């Protein structure tokens, strides 16, 4: 599949490498400085089909656009890509910032970043996913007790199976988390992972999983 990854930091870099190397997907990083040393080093460290260009070039190339930008940059990054009609968008961002003196969701809990992204990316199908665990787990989701869970929330039922397969290629236990509105739950769930990792002594080497009878 042809993938545009917008942003090539912790999350974008880990996802691009994993999708190219584990599943042979065609990865096009959409970045602000494609020729920078940082971008070139990232490309050199990935075995597989990878390239970098502007976010607009990446979007034109791809069927699926993966957003991995910091929240304050996300609206601008989407608008800079121009007409995205008909594309699938995976929103991996979290609307993080300081709220009442602590890290929180700057847009509150009665709307989600995923729904805002849908508003900015007119004519696309937005799915909220890959926001509820750390980038280390995206690079390496292997745990001796089983696969970490990964949720997908989105309204486009026709394309959801394709998205579940694509994210599942990374090695997650995939769960359909319902409509895009449920991004409100997934973004709060991300805050729980972050709080446990940063403030409760769990570090980054843990992941949530689901037990079933
Ligand atoms: N870190 C995690 O474990 C984790 C887990 C789940 C979700 N998330 C979410 O994923 C997002 C990215 O997190 P991160 O840790 O990967 O951040 P990061 O390491 O700071 O990477 C962000 C990337 O976005 C790029 N960028 C910024 N503005 C851009 C624009 N207008 N157009 C194109 N690229 C742009 C930056 O490029 P430059 O080099 O040009 O600045 C950088 O490569 C955030 O929304 C975060 O909340 C993070």
97 ligand 1 Cβ < 6 A: no
Alpha-carbon dihedral angle through residues 22, 55, 190, 134, given to the nearest 10 degrees:
40
7-32: per-residue pLDDT in tens? 999 999 999 999 999 999 999 999 99
Compute, in angstroms, the gap from residue 8 CA to the centroid of ligand 1.
Answer: 7
Strands 102-105 and 125-129: unpaired
Point out the ligand 1 atom lying closest to the alpha carbon of residue 77: 31
Residue 142: pLDDT band with limits 50, 70, 90: very high
Considering the chain, what is the average pLDDT of its residues? 98
Strands 96-99 and 149-154: unpaired
Average pLDDT over residues 129-133: 98
Handedness of CA 117, 119, 122, 125 (dihedral sign): positive
8 ligand 1 Cβ < 6 A: yes
Compute, in angstroms, the gap from residue 13 CA to the centroid of ligand 1.
Answer: 9
173-186: per-residue pLDDT in tens? 999 999 999 999 99
42-71: per-residue pLDDT in tens? 999 999 999 999 999 999 999 999 999 999
Query: How far is it, in rounded angstroms, from Cα 148 to Cα 108?
Result: 27
73 ligand 1 Cβ < 6 A: yes
Question: How far from chain centre, in Å, is Cα 116?
Answer: 15
Q: By CB neighbour count within 10 A (0-12 exposed, 13-18 middle, 19+ buried), where does 67 fall? A: buried
129 ligand 1 Cβ < 6 A: no
9 ligand 1 Cβ < 6 A: yes
Which helix (H) or strand (E) segment holds residue 12: the answer is helix 10-23
The pair of three-digit structure tokens given for residue 4, joined into one six-digit string: 């545009």
Query: How far is it, in rounded angstroms, from Cα 171 to Cα 138?
Result: 8
% residues pLDDT > 70 (the chain): 100
Compute, in angstroms, the gap from residue 212 CA to the centroid of ligand 1.
Answer: 34
Half-sphere exposure of 88 (CA within 13 A, CB side): 25
Query: How far is it, in rounded angstroms, from Cα 30 to Cα 209?
Result: 31
Residue 89: pLDDT band with limits 50, 70, 90: very high
Considering only CA atoms, which of 99, 43, 51 is closest in space to residue 71? 99
DSSP state of 45: T
Nearest CA to ligand 1 atom 9: 93
pTM to 2 decimal places = 0.98
Compute, in angstroms, the gap from residue 9 CA to the centroid of ligand 1.
Answer: 5
Can you give the pLDDT at residue 86?
97
């Amino acid at each position: 599949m042809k993938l545009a990854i917008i942003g090539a930091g912790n999350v974008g870099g880990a996802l691009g490498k994993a999708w190219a190397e584990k599943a042979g997907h065609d990865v096009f990083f959409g970045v602000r400085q494609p020729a920078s040393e940082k971008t070139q080093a990232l490309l050199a460290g990935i075995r597989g089909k990878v390239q970098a260009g502007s976010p607009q070039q990446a979007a034109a190339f791809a069927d699926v656009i993966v957003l991995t930008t910091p929240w304050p940059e996300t609206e601008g990054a989407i608008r800079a890509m121009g007409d995205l009609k008909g594309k699938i968008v995976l929103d991996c961002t979290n609307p993080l910032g300081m709220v009442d003196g602590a890290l929180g969701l700057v847009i509150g809990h009665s709307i989600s970043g995923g729904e805002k992204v849908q508003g900015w990316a007119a004519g696309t199908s937005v799915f909220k996913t890959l926001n509820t665990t750390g980038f280390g787990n995206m690079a390496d989701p292997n745990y001796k007790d089983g696969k970490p869970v990964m949720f997908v929330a989105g309204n486009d039922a026709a394309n959801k199976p394709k998205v579940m397969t694509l994210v599942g290629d990374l090695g997650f236990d995939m769960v359909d988390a319902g409509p895009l509105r449920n991004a409100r739950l997934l973004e709060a769930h991300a805050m729980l992972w972050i709080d446990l990792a940063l403030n409760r002594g769990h570090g980054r080497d843990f992941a949530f999983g689901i037990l079933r009878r």
